Structure 1
Amino acid sequence: MFHEIRFPTTIAFHSHGGPERKTEIVTLGSGFEERNAVWAHGRRRYDIGYGLKTLDDIHAVIAFFEARLGRLYGFRFRDFTDYKSVSPTAPITPRDQVLATGDGTAKRFQLIKTYNSGPSSYQRPIVKPVASTLRIAVAGVEQSGFTLDAATGLVTLATAPSAGAAVTAGFEFDVPVRFDSDKLTVNLANFQAGEIPSITLVEIRV
Structure 2
Amino acid sequence: MGFHEIRFPASLSFGSLGGPERLTDVVTLANGFEERNTPWAQSRRRYDAGVSLRGLDDIEALIAFFEARRGQLFGFRWKDWTDYKSGRAKAEPDYRDQVIGVGDDVTVEFALFKTYRSGEQSYARQIRKPVEGSVRVGLSNNELQDGVHYEVDPTTGVVRFVEPPNVGVQVTAGYEFDVPVRFDTDRIQTSLASFQAGEVPNVPVVEIRI
User: What is the TM-score normalised by the length of structure 1?
Assistant: 0.98
Cα deviation, residue 188, structure 1: 1.5
Residue of structure 2 in register with 1:44 after alignment: 45
Aligned with residue 187 of structure 1, among 184, 191, 201: 191
Q: Does 1:161 align with 2:165?
A: yes
SS in 1 for 2:27: strand
Q: Does 1:90 align with 2:128?
A: no
Size of the alignment, in residue pairs? 206
Q: Does 1:109 align with 2:113?
A: no
Residue of structure 2 in register with 1:136 after alignment: 137
Alignment partners' CA distance in 2, 1:60 and 1:166: 44
> Which structure 1 residue ranges, 5 or more long, are not aligned?
none
Amino acid at match of 1:84: K
Cα deviation, residue 91, structure 1: 1.8
Residue of structure 2 in register with 1:22 after alignment: 23
Residue of structure 2 in register with 1:56 after alignment: 57
Amino acid at match of 2:48: D
Kept in 2: contact 1:109–1:154 (CA 8 A): yes
Alignment partners' CA distance in 2, 1:183 and 1:87: 37
Alignment partners' CA distance in 2, 1:59 and 1:170: 35
SS in 1 for 2:51: helix
| Further displaced range: 119-128 or 138-147 | 138-147
> Which structure 2 residue ranges, 5 or more long, are not aligned?
none
Kept in 1: contact 2:188–2:201 (CA 8 A): no
Q: Does 1:201 align with 2:201?
A: no
Cα deviation, residue 92, structure 1: 1.1
Cα deviation, residue 187, structure 1: 1.7
Alignment partners' CA distance in 1, 2:159 and 2:25: 35
Cα deviation, residue 8, structure 1: 0.3
Residue of structure 2 in register with 1:151 after alignment: 155
Q: Does 1:79 align with 2:80?
A: yes
Kept in 2: contact 1:98–1:167 (CA 8 A): yes
Cα deviation, residue 196, structure 1: 2.1
Residue of structure 2 in register with 1:178 after alignment: 182
Alignment partners' CA distance in 1, 2:88 and 2:46: 20
